[in-house]
Structure 1
């Protein structure tokens, strides 16, 4: 259950970071208006809060593992939202990053 909870928190943090960053990008690069940028800033605030809900006490471990989740979610966001199609190297890199998440967070419990 701890693994599922952690993965959900990582996914929520990733969606907040990517979604908030995307809104700021739209504001600054595509002139979507200042309120879109403000909304992006609010969403990014939640990205900073969500990882603190992880059970793991080590900041570095949580953020290192989160980095792998961020890679996978960024590939998915680009594919689903921006219409960018990842190639096999993007997908392989995402799979390797996700394997790293499991080793960092739970490897000491399994090996």
Structure 2
């Protein structure tokens, strides 16, 4: 799988996980409808399925996925929660994505 497709898959996987966790947070912390738990469960099921599409072993996939998750979580913070990102957020995301690339692009043995 080429790096662009792999990165896109990581980002879609992260979105599914964040949606699956954000909706219950809305129910529990902001008194939103408990019906939001249904799409949350579906999103988390999608997240789990998407993880199976990654081409490497589970532990290596989780390790590389962490970098994408950090970047997507910060984008969510900005776009959904409306919180401005700091230069430290940006630097941290850059480091996390670099770590993801190192893990994901290592030569196969």
TM-score range, shorter chain: over 0.9
Q: Deviations for 1:71-104, whole angstroms, at most 9, x for unmatched residues?
A: 0000000000001111111110000000000000
> 8 Å contact 1:24–1:41 — kept in the other structure?
no
Aligned to 1:23: 23
Residue 94 (structure 1) aligned with residue 93 (structure 2):
yes
Aligned to 2:80: 81
What is the TM-score with the length of structure 2 in the denominator? 0.93
**Cα deviation, residue 51, structure 1:** 1.2
Moved over 4 A (4+): none
User: Which aligned pairs between 1:1-111 and structure 2 lie closer than 5 A?
Assistant: 2-56=2-56, 58-108=57-107
Q: Work out the CA distance in 1 between the residues paired with 2:5 and 2:52.
A: 13
Structure 1, unmatched stretches of 5+, are none
Structure 1 or 2: larger helix share? 1
**Cα deviation, residue 108, structure 1:** 2.8
RMSD across aligned C-alpha pairs, in angstroms? Answer: 1.2
Q: Work out the CA distance in 1 between the residues paired with 2:40 and 2:24.
A: 5
Q: Which moved more, 1:89-98 or 1:30-39?
A: 30-39
Structure 2, unmatched stretches of 5+, are none
Equivalent residues, number: 108
**Cα deviation, residue 10, structure 1:** 0.6
Tell me the SS of whatever aligns to 1:107: coil
